[in-house]
Structure 1
Amino acid sequence: MSRRRPALKPARLTLRDILHTGSAGMRARPMRIVLSALGIAIGIATMISVVGISASSKEKLLQELDKLGTNMLVVTPGTDLLTGKKVPLAEDAAGRVARIDGVEHTGATGQLPHTVRRSEKIADTITGGITVQAATHDLLATLRATMHSGTWLNAATGKYPAVVLGDVAAQRLGVSEPGQQVYINQRYFTVTGILAPLPLAPEIARSALVGWDIATSQLGFDARPTTVYERSADHKVGEVHQLIPRAVDPQTPRNVNVSDPSAALQAKAATEGAFSNLLLGLGGVALLVGGVGVANTMIISVLERRHEIGLRRSIGATRGQIRGQFVTESLLLSTLGGAAGIILGAAATATYALAGDIPWVIPLWAVGGGFAATLAIGTLAGLYPAVRAARTSPTLALHAA
């Protein structure tokens, strides 16, 4: 009796063999591969750039907050519940705030009923949205402001017709450097300095600031501050916020308003990515369309390569090896598009950051998520064509060829 020969086991493919067979279709049809990968690249690039631009803008806001600090509070007059009118702050309101435990710096401004003009020939009804305010010497340190040019008011210049302009006020008045003059209350004031932008105090940016002494002696100022600014220790901000109304007006503390100007920047930083969700959705749609394009390419590839599939099956390739070949090709195709998309998205973010003078930030999770999405799309797009290729009958494939 003859013995039955044992069935030959199919040869195992190495990783190099799998990559070689999987990339065969890509090498044979490069233009089709490029066009198919383009959809993946556009989707990934959109998602990376949206996340990167949002993260870069948020980082810029956080850097501003670190520089300006979140420990400044602003004290302003409240409204009387009976009369509905503003209740003026006490003349020594800044001193009362300064005596609170934890307060490190205080500064005050007092609004004046005057306009500032470039010359007396300009009508006083043309204000340009600029206010004239008296300012204490320590206001600059309290605001952590810097001078764009010139010098701040001091004990000497505060007694004479000298003025410091906010950056917006200087721009609207057409003043570009210290030494020029502006017209306030029937006389000229010499500009001694121009402030740099103040994100936490936009009202100062639109102001012409004169010394407290000359405001009381020549501009009819009653020495009552309209705004008090204070800086406290970081761990004392909440406590100081509660104590200020009682310190400024012990009898009716509700007539004192206390606000945190950094809250707006903090809220903006926290919600920076809210609008990005819509754009991320659009990027996801583009990615889905790219995945459909890859699947379509793979199905056409299976139909065009039936002879190759039949030949490989006839010489011993298993269905699993055929499936692996086409899934690998789909993964390589998607990875190519994903890598191109990440590079394009990073370049778009870098261009935006450079144009806006903001930090260039791309979260690692965005890059990792882009690769993960690429692999998922590649697997899903190649799964059906791979199964279809594996089910192809060698006999029918060779006969059809």
Structure 2
Amino acid sequence: MRAATTLVPARLALGDQARVASTGLRARPLRAALSALGIAIGVAAIVAVLGLSSSSQAGLLSEIDRLGTNLLTANNGQSFTGQTARLPLEATSRISHLPAVEQVAHVGNVEDAKVYRSPLIPPITTNALKVRAASLNLPSVLATSVAQGRWLNSATATQPVAVLGAVAAQRMGIDRVYPGERVWLGGQWFYVGGILDPAVLTPDIDTSVLIGYPAAQRYLGYASISQGKLAVGPPSTIYVRARTDHVADVQAVLGQTANPEAPNEVDVSQPSDALTARAAASGAFNSLFLGLGAVALIVGAVGVANIMIISVLERRSEIGLRRALGATRGQIRGQFLSEAIMLALLGGAAGVASGVAATAVYAGTKHWAVVIPAEAWAGGIGSAIAIGALAGLLPALRAARLSPTEALRTV
């Protein structure tokens, strides 16, 4: 006699498993879509946060490369008594003699002068604007340009003519240079000669109203006594363009060169370092938004678990019929687990697409390169699948435990 053989039910192929799972979702499309919405929102938030952070960093670093990393500044620091120190009048000429220095420009703060749109503005409303005397080569050294009008020249630098920084013009309500346009500066009228583009490396220039050194001496009394003679100045900030391969060398001696008697009273900095640090810190708030995305994913997981539990209850007859036709507990469990994973996967895919689209639109308005890190979309899809598996595990186990007779009672 032949030995009795035990028939082992065939395992469903992956394609068949996906078709069976999709059937359950297509039967209730609105409910499935609403359940996947929470996961889609969470994944979209994660992708958009990481994408916008990476795009903004890439845009800022690209701007730094365009402007150059070889700009150094020497500012008047503080003395031992805590008072604001003064740079020597000869500081600029000393620095310009350094072998690795290519260009030198400077500005001087005219502390007592205030600027207003008109003399009718209350004196207390200064808009935090500064009046600064500027050297004629300032825009070229700072790698900025004139948006409206003209920059100072050897003639206008001696006259009551001012050039507004980008923010200064905005705060004063001046968006265009008209013939005869004037501002009330230091108790007298100054004509507006131009408006600068934003100075990315030196934002202090954006909030400044710039005039020539001769005009500052003639109309505002900005001068010092040097060796018994009246001299214009001193500068308060010196901008230095060094050779790119010698920036560190120039930075090391800049304070001592500017003020040999008190180099500790000179603050030396590299503006591009501050921008690079800002680029690195631009993701400081990412954790908050990623946390909000995680909350949305949890809400989506609850929705998936809820719809799968309800689905098990509503489809008891289907489960009983499949079990009576020979489906195993593992196949029933796999069916409902596959439905949950497919539901979460669809939500994750929609979330990734939405996050990428949001990043592309916003980055386009800011003229940034669109950068989507691999961990953003891969993490979004991976977390969606993991959440779907976890949310669908309990309903799948519950469905697998139903006996055929108990399930068929509802038929």
TM-score (norm 1): 0.88
SS at match of 1:381: helix
1:44 positional shift: 1.5
1:103 equivalent among 98, 101, 125: 101
Find the counterpart in structure 1 of residue 197 from structure 2. 196
Find the counterpart in structure 1 of residue 299 from structure 2. 289
Relative to structure 1, is the Cα distance of residues 121 and 320 closer, same or farther in structure 2, using a 3 angstrom cutoff?
Answer: closer
| 1:54 aligned partner, one-letter code | S
Unaligned runs of 5+ in 2: 224-231
CA contact (8 A) 1:100 1:243 kept: no
Deviation track 1:108-154 (CA, whole Å, cap 9, x = no partner) reads: 11223434455667677765443332211221111111110222223
1:398 positional shift: 2.9
After TM superposition, list the pairs within 5 Å mapping 1:198-347 onto structure 2. 198-216=199-217, 219-222=220-223, 223=232, 224-347=234-357
SS at match of 2:102: strand
Distance 1:186 1:344 in 2: 56
| 1:84 aligned partner, one-letter code | G
Find the counterpart in structure 2 of residue 86 from structure 1. 84
The answer to whether 1:54 aligns with 2:53 is yes
CA contact (8 A) 2:108 2:237 kept: yes
The answer to whether 1:372 aligns with 2:382 is yes
Instruction: After superposing the two structures, state which structure 1 stretch, 43-52 or 346-355, moved more.
Output: 346-355
Deviation track 1:347-367 (CA, whole Å, cap 9, x = no partner) reads: 443454456565544323211
CA contact (8 A) 1:178 1:193 kept: no
Query: Structure 1 vs Structure 2: percent identity of aligned residues?
Result: 48
Relative to structure 1, is the Cα distance of residues 260 and 302 closer, same or farther in structure 2, using a 3 angstrom cutoff?
Answer: same
Relative to structure 1, is the Cα distance of residues 279 and 130 closer, same or farther in structure 2, using a 3 angstrom cutoff?
Answer: closer
Relative to structure 1, is the Cα distance of residues 38 and 259 closer, same or farther in structure 2, using a 3 angstrom cutoff?
Answer: same
Relative to structure 1, is the Cα distance of residues 326 and 183 closer, same or farther in structure 2, using a 3 angstrom cutoff?
Answer: closer
Distance 2:164 2:409 in 1: 89
| 1:209 aligned partner, one-letter code | L
Distance 1:361 1:316 in 2: 51
After TM superposition, list the pairs within 5 Å mapping 1:150-169 onto structure 2. 150-169=149-168
SS at match of 2:193: strand
Deviation track 1:4-57 (CA, whole Å, cap 9, x = no partner) reads: 443334234333321221222112222221222122222212222322333333
Kindly tell me the number of residue pairs found equivalent between the two proteins: 399
Relative to structure 1, is the Cα distance of residues 124 and 330 closer, same or farther in structure 2, using a 3 angstrom cutoff?
Answer: closer
CA contact (8 A) 1:161 1:188 kept: yes
TM-score (norm 2): 0.86
1:378 positional shift: 1.5
SS at match of 1:23: helix
Relative to structure 1, is the Cα distance of residues 16 and 72 closer, same or farther in structure 2, using a 3 angstrom cutoff?
Answer: same
Cα RMSD (Å): 2.8
1:228 positional shift: 0.7
Deviation track 1:192-234 (CA, whole Å, cap 9, x = no partner) reads: 3211112332332232222233444554332221211112234
Relative to structure 1, is the Cα distance of residues 142 and 18 closer, same or farther in structure 2, using a 3 angstrom cutoff?
Answer: same
Deviation track 1:157-178 (CA, whole Å, cap 9, x = no partner) reads: 3344433222233334444215
Distance 2:218 2:296 in 1: 69
Relative to structure 1, is the Cα distance of residues 331 and 67 closer, same or farther in structure 2, using a 3 angstrom cutoff?
Answer: same
Relative to structure 1, is the Cα distance of residues 220 and 44 closer, same or farther in structure 2, using a 3 angstrom cutoff?
Answer: same
Find the counterpart in structure 2 of residue 398 from structure 1. 408
1:263 positional shift: 3.8
Distance 2:173 2:390 in 1: 63
Distance 1:303 1:87 in 2: 80
